[in-house]
Structure 1
Amino acid sequence: MPSVTSDVVELILEDHRTMEELFRTMRNKEADRAGALKEFADLLIAHAEAEEEKVYPALRRYKNVDNEDVEHGVHEHDEGNRALLALLEVDDTASDVWEEKLEELVEAITHHTDEEERTLLNDARENMTDERRAEIGVLFVQARAEHLKTGPGRIENVRRVVKSA
């Protein structure tokens, strides 16, 4: 269901909750794990690219925002992308290797989303006006949609993203 908010903080949180839901599906041996992984991969790459293009640069402009937190967020995106690639490279969704790589991905992404919610998103709440968060939210949604059009979770693209990090 599309969001009714344009607040960038709420939009990012919605993506995080969608990722958690997709993790639950991927952990379910009776579910369409490959389909959930495709949806997850597209969302993760599009989400991270849109954050790095539109949200993080806006946060860097505020003196009360720790730029090391922003840089750490970018680093954690890279870690998540590497974990995603490792899972995408496993063909058999019923294998022990797939389960292992899935848990590594869950750990990397959960760690990042938890930290981001406690640091950068709270920084955005404290330092940006509601209007500015809405402006950045519109830019974030547009950038994410543009990335989603390209099928960003395709293994070739994830390899390119990891290599360029």
Structure 2
Amino acid sequence: MAGRFEELMRGLRDATADRRSLRTELAALLVAHAEAEEQEVYPGLRRFASSSDEEVEHGEEEHAQINQALLAFLELNDVEGETYDEKLEELVEVVNHHTNEEEQTLLNDARTKLSPEERKRLGLAFLKARAAAVDAGSGRVERLRQLVAEVEGSLR
């Protein structure tokens, strides 16, 4: 995803690009990625790699932060101007933070503690779940609102 994510970020910063279309694709990929990780990867890491509940919960919390920033970005009517640039950079910041942390903790656990076969099985399960989430419209604004509301409701 990193390569496509970087391409989307470049496009979203390009004033001549079809930003609305790129924004839709980004939303679908980000939400589907998080849902697939939480459905397939995180449980496997808890079981087989001895990743702590705290590490997994932190990843889930960061997914919630990404969803909040993504929703704020998607709810913008204007895809130009200072507010657009600010919301895009806020989103990029939370995504980059999550990606960097995950690479250093959970994914390193997977690399060092899981067999190649188990990593492959988790990877294939992740890809299947991510594709299903994209197909189900995971990046729709309504879906993001629901996800954000669920997190906010659980914090009360």
Shift of 1:24: 1.3
1:51 matched to which residue of 2? 37
Task: Classify 1:61/1:152 alpha carbon distance in 2 versus 1 (closer, same or farther; 3 Å).
Answer: same
Q: 1:69 aligns with which of 27, 44, 55?
A: 55
Shift of 1:151: 1.6
Runs of at least 5 residues in structure 2 that lack an aligned partner in the other structure: 152-156
What percent identity do the matched residue pairs reach?
49
1:120 equivalent to 2:92? Answer no
Give the root-mean-square deviation of aligned CA atoms.
Answer: 1.2
Write out per-residue CA displacement over residues 108-129 of structure 1, whole angstroms, 9 at most, x where no aligned residue. 1010011111111111000110
Shift of 1:62: 3.7
Could you tell me whether the CA contact under 8 Å between 2:62 and 2:98 is conserved in 1? yes
Equivalenced residues, count: 151
Could you tell me whether the CA contact under 8 Å between 2:49 and 2:114 is conserved in 1? no
Shift of 1:66: 2.9
Alignment TM-score, normalising by the size of structure 1: 0.87
1:94 matched to which residue of 2? 80
Matches within 5 A, 1:126-141: 126-141=112-127
Name the aligned partner's letter for residue 52 of structure 2.
Answer: D
Name the aligned partner's letter for residue 81 of structure 1.
Answer: N
Q: Which runs of 4+ in 1 moved over 4 A?
A: none
Task: Classify 1:151/1:123 alpha carbon distance in 2 versus 1 (closer, same or farther; 3 Å).
Answer: same
Name the aligned partner's letter for residue 120 of structure 1.
Answer: L
